[in-house]
């Protein structure tokens, strides 16, 4: 451990002082982070990028050519830029005590670094504002991903009103040029936007009280020449499922200040004396291998963070939603389960429609016991049948919600989030339970525990189908962030009680996909849109931040319920191979030949799921081609999708930039023709010249298996 004492309050007790002017250098296997440690303020971001040898970075000069009429002592951007004392850019903190103490400026009081040189903890203090901020920076040696954890403590005797606390303030080099971000709507999640980082502030936020469909809390920043496969790229994502915002600002020295954090509602954070406010973690990755390089590191980090179980072979699902909707009938479900088992399905998930009075979406949420008419003997007969067929049984729940037309609401109309004098705004005819009440979470824990104890249920699909509006608690204050913390606590409590139960996070499709809830859930449902053509960009967006085995990917019906478009069974199945494979259709309605094809695809998925859920690379080529490669250096699958009809007589050759140049590969075409060694090729030729594709119609796929010879 090394350390550095600095002026101001706080302990300076550290093993070996770093001589001033000093810096802090952390490294992972491919990344370096260097912070300057000036005497007169918080650490300043000097470098974050591909690994440098220790001691080789130039010292940052404090000398600037100052514009005329500047402050005599200008304040540069730091790890925690305060408000009002000379830093004129966006502050990392905006806080006050009932309007007083609205300025902040921090001194470094402690810097500690571990022996391995991967983790540092920096303590900052403002003795006037009576605030301490602790920032932990850790580059995980396994994944090379930097995790930034920030906490603010109120050292004063009066409450501190916090309007904004950056979970991370990151500074990128001047060549940062474009920012790729994601958002959309229900059934069109993960739509990509790419913006130039110009002179004006770039800003993305949501106040929907959930991660949201509209703005994912993270982005990828590309340098001018970076693309999917090469060039310097940076990524950051906030591990948080509530309101959030991120900004990027071009600084006076052309570098970019990137901040991510929670977005607080007015008055939401009033920190009691001696209390601590913890910001969500930010995961940050940098790679010379472009967008794919950043994604690979994020996948490793999400896998390393847990929650475990998620990397065991991912079982083939059948989800009943689009096959049944609310029309549950036991005999039909039993024959659906038989048809699923016959195809090779391994987990049968009973979706919405099973509980009390749930014949449509206007009734029943909150009454988590089997509907007496549809299930006169409870769920047991169906669960027993499903498990006797060798499948696991999964169940849909939406615990955070209630329909006004439910026994729960009639008994406890005061259990919902609302603001006095404001109307209850329903969405999908439902209201949101106030999870800050322990009687509410105790009730939910009890009903969910009863379900899990009474039946052999090994999987929950946990939904959250609306945004939060007037999220006031019983005290009449905003409860958006507390709602999320209490939802996390409920999930944690259930997981501790039922450690073998897996949980899927869903929120009207992909409204709650983030690295915060991913600590507690094993799978995400990215979208209610099962149209294979729509699904490709949705899935590719998701895969920028999360690994494929966490991404539910189902074969839907034709025509697709969300769009009315028709795609053949092979294309739909090949698109579902990008993630955790499943079905969301009624196999009994399929033609014999489609059913036989689906059976083959399920076998194909099972035979290859180890490499489908390994490292992935994705790319595009001219003429409507998109590709997805997954596997290891020795064995990989390449899936090429043709989205639109060919524009020319022949398809362009497809170079594979991930091929190892001095390796030789044997390439087998698995689909459409199936079987047979196609050719042996050098990795250099594959990377530079590429493969010649078979003739493909619009909305079709071909699949190669590459093995190292
Ligand atoms: C949401 C989910 C769907 C389905 C329905 C059930 O829309 O995204 O997959 O579970 O709820 O009401």
Q: How far is the CA of 562 from the centre of ligand 1 (A)?
A: 12
| Residue 508 near ligand 1, beta carbon < 6 Å | yes
Which residues lie across from 635 on neighbouring strands?
A: 707
| Residue 351 near ligand 1, beta carbon < 6 Å | yes
Tell me if residue 570 is catalytic.
no
- Peptide linkage before 660 cis (omega within 30 of 0): no
DSSP 104-123: ---EEEEEEE-TTSSEEEEE
- Peptide linkage before 559 cis (omega within 30 of 0): yes
Please provide the size of the chain in residues.
709
| Residue 352 near ligand 1, beta carbon < 6 Å | yes
| Residue 396 near ligand 1, beta carbon < 6 Å | yes
Q: How far is the CA of 84 from the centre of ligand 1 (A)?
A: 47
- For ligand 1, atom 12: residue with the closest CA: 352
Ligand 1 atom at shortest distance from the alpha carbon of 527 = 8
Q: Cβ contacts of residue 249 below 8 Å, gap of 6+?
A: 89, 90, 201, 202, 256, 257
Q: How far is the CA of 463 from the centre of ligand 1 (A)?
A: 7
Quick one: pLDDT at residue 19? Answer: 41
| Residue 612 near ligand 1, beta carbon < 6 Å | no
Mutate to test the pocket of ligand 1, among 321, 326, 503 (most ligand atoms within 8 A of CB): 321
| Residue 365 near ligand 1, beta carbon < 6 Å | no
The pair of structure tokens assigned to 437 is 């009440």
- For ligand 1, atom 2: residue with the closest CA: 508
Q: Kindly give the pairing relationship between strand 256-262 and strand 107-113.
A: unpaired
Given phi > 0 = left and psi -120 to 50 = alpha, else beta, which region is 660? beta
Burial, 18: exposed, middle or buried (Cβ in 10 Å; 0-12, 13-18, 19+)? middle
CA 515 → CA 147, 333, 505, distances in Å?
Answer: 12, 35, 11
Burial, 2: exposed, middle or buried (Cβ in 10 Å; 0-12, 13-18, 19+)? middle
- For ligand 1, atom 7: residue with the closest CA: 508
CB 404 within 8 A of CB 415: no
| Residue 465 near ligand 1, beta carbon < 6 Å | yes
Quick one: pLDDT at residue 504? Answer: 98
Q: How far is the CA of 512 from the centre of ligand 1 (A)?
A: 13
Q: How far is the CA of 95 from the centre of ligand 1 (A)?
A: 40
| Residue 189 near ligand 1, beta carbon < 6 Å | no
CA distance 117 to 254: 29
Q: How far is the CA of 352 from the centre of ligand 1 (A)?
A: 7
Q: How far is the CA of 263 from the centre of ligand 1 (A)?
A: 27
| Residue 463 near ligand 1, beta carbon < 6 Å | yes
Q: Kindly give the pairing relationship between strand 233-238 and strand 218-223.
A: antiparallel
CA distance 658 to 292: 10
- For ligand 1, atom 6: residue with the closest CA: 352
The single residue listed with the structure tokens 């019983």 is 474
CB 470 within 8 A of CB 439: no
Q: Which of 648, 653, 615 is nearest to 634 (CA)?
A: 615
Residues in the chain where the model's pLDDT stays below 70: 1-21, 59-64, 309-311, 674-677
Candidates 463, 570, 586, 615; catalytic one: 463
- For ligand 1, atom 1: residue with the closest CA: 508
Q: How far is the CA of 528 from the centre of ligand 1 (A)?
A: 7
Tell me if residue 359 is catalytic.
no
Query: For residue 225, how many other CB atoms are within 10 A of its CB?
Result: 11
Record the pTM: 0.96
CA distance 185 to 329: 32
Quick one: pLDDT at residue 9? Answer: 32
Q: Which of 523, 601, 608 is nearest to 568 (CA)?
A: 601
Mutate to test the pocket of ligand 1, among 396, 464, 557, 585 (most ligand atoms within 8 A of CB): 396
| Residue 525 near ligand 1, beta carbon < 6 Å | yes
Q: How far is the CA of 120 from the centre of ligand 1 (A)?
A: 43
What sign does the CA torsion over 265, 266, 271, 277 have?
A: positive
Q: Cβ contacts of residue 270 below 8 Å, gap of 6+?
A: 159, 160, 161, 162
The angle, 0 to 180 degrees and rounded to 10, between the axes of the packed helices 569-576 and 532-542 is 10
Ligand 1 atom at shortest distance from the alpha carbon of 507 = 8
| Residue 455 near ligand 1, beta carbon < 6 Å | no
Candidates 528, 570, 594, 615; catalytic one: 528
CA 129 → CA 60, 77, 93, 101, 125, distances in Å?
Answer: 29, 19, 12, 6, 9
Q: How far is the CA of 508 from the centre of ligand 1 (A)?
A: 6
- For ligand 1, atom 4: residue with the closest CA: 321
| Residue 524 near ligand 1, beta carbon < 6 Å | no
Which residues lie across from 664 on neighbouring strands?
A: 682
């Amino acid at each position: 451990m090394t350390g550095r004492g600095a002026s101001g309050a706080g302990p300076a007790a550290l093993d070996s002082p770093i001589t001033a002017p000093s810096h802090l250098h952390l490294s992972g296997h491919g990344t370096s982070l260097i912070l300057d440690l000036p005497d007169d303020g918080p650490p300043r971001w000097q470098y974050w990028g591909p690994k440098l040898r220790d001691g080789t970075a130039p010292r940052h000069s404090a000398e600037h050519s100052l514009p005329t009429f500047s402050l005599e002592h200008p304040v540069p951007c730091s790890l925690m830029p305060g408000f009002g004392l000379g830093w004129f850019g966006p502050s990392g903190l905006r806080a006050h005590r009932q309007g007083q103490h609205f300025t902040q400026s921090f001194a470094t009081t402690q810097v500690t670094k571990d022996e391995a040189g991967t983790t540092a903890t920096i303590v900052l203090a403002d003795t006037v504002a009576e605030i301490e901020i602790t920032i932990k920076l850790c580059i995980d040696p396994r994944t090379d991903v930097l995790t930034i954890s920030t906490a603010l403590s109120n050292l004063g005797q009066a409450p501190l009103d916090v309007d904004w606390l950056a979970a991370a303030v990151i500074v990128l080099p001047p060549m940062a040029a474009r920012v790729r971000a994601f958002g959309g709507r229900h059934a069109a999640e993960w739509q990509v936007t790419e913006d130039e980082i110009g002179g004006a502030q770039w800003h993305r936020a949501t106040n929907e009280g959930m991660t949201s469909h509209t703005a994912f809390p993270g982005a990828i920043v590309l340098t001018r020449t970076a693309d999917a496969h090469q060039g310097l790229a940076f990524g950051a994502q906030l591990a948080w499922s509530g309101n959030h915002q991120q900004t990027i600002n071009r600084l006076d020295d052309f570098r970019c200040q990137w901040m991510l954090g929670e977005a607080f509602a007015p008055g939401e954070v009033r920190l009691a004396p001696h209390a601590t406010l913890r910001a969500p973690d930010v995961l940050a990755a940098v790679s010379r291998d472009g967008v794919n390089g950043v994604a690979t590191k994020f996948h490793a980090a999400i896998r390393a963070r847990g929650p475990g179980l998620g990397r065991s072979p991912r079982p083939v699902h059948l989800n009943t939603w689009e096959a049944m909707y609310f029309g549950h009938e036991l005999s039909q479900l039993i024959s659906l389960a038989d048809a699923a088992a016959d195809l090779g399905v391994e987990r049968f998930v009973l979706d919405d429609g099973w509980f009390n009075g749930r014949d449509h979406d206007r009734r029943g949420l909150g009454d988590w016991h089997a509907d007496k008419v549809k299930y006169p003997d409870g769920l047991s007969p169906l669960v027993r049948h499903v498990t006797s067929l060798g499948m696991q049984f999964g169940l849909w729940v939406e615990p955070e919600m209630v329909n006004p037309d439910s026994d729960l609401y009639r008994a406890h109309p005061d259990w919902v989030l609302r603001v006095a004098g404001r109307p209850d705004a329903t969405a999908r005819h439902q209201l949101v339970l106030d999870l800050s009440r322990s009687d509410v979470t105790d009730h939910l824990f009890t009903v969910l525990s009863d379900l899990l104890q009474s039946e052999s249920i090994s999987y929950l699909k946990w939904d959250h189908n609306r945004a939060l509006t007037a999220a006031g608690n019983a005290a009449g204050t905003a409860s958006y962030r507390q709602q999320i913390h209490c939802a996390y606590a409920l999930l944690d409590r259930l997981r501790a009680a039922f450690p073998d139960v897996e949980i899927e996070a869903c929120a009207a499709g992909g409204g709650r996909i983030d690295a915060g809830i991913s600590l507690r859930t094993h799978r995400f449902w990215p979208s209610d849109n099962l149209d294979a053509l729509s699904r490709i960009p949705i899935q590719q967006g998701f895969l920028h931040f999360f690994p494929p085995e966490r991404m539910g990917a189902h074969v839907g019906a034709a025509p697709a319920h969300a769009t009315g478009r028709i795609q053949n069974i092979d294309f739909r199945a090949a698109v579902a191979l990008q993630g955790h494979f499943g079905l969301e259709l009624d196999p009994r309605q399929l033609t014999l030949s489609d059913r036989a094809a689906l059976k083959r695809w399920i076998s194909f998925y099972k035979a290859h799921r180890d490499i489908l859920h390994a490292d992935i690379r994705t790319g595009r080529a001219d003429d409507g081609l998109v590709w997805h490669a997954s596997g290891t250096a020795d064995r990989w699958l390449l899936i090429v999708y043709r989205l639109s009809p060919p524009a020319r007589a022949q398809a362009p050759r497809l170079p594979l930039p991930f091929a190892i140049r001095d390796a030789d590969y044997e390439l087998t075409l698995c689909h459409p023709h199936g079987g047979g060694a196609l050719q042996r090729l050098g990795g250099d030729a594959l990377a530079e010249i590429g493969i010649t594709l078979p003739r493909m119609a619009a909305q079709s796929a071909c699949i190669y298996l590459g093995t190292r010879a």
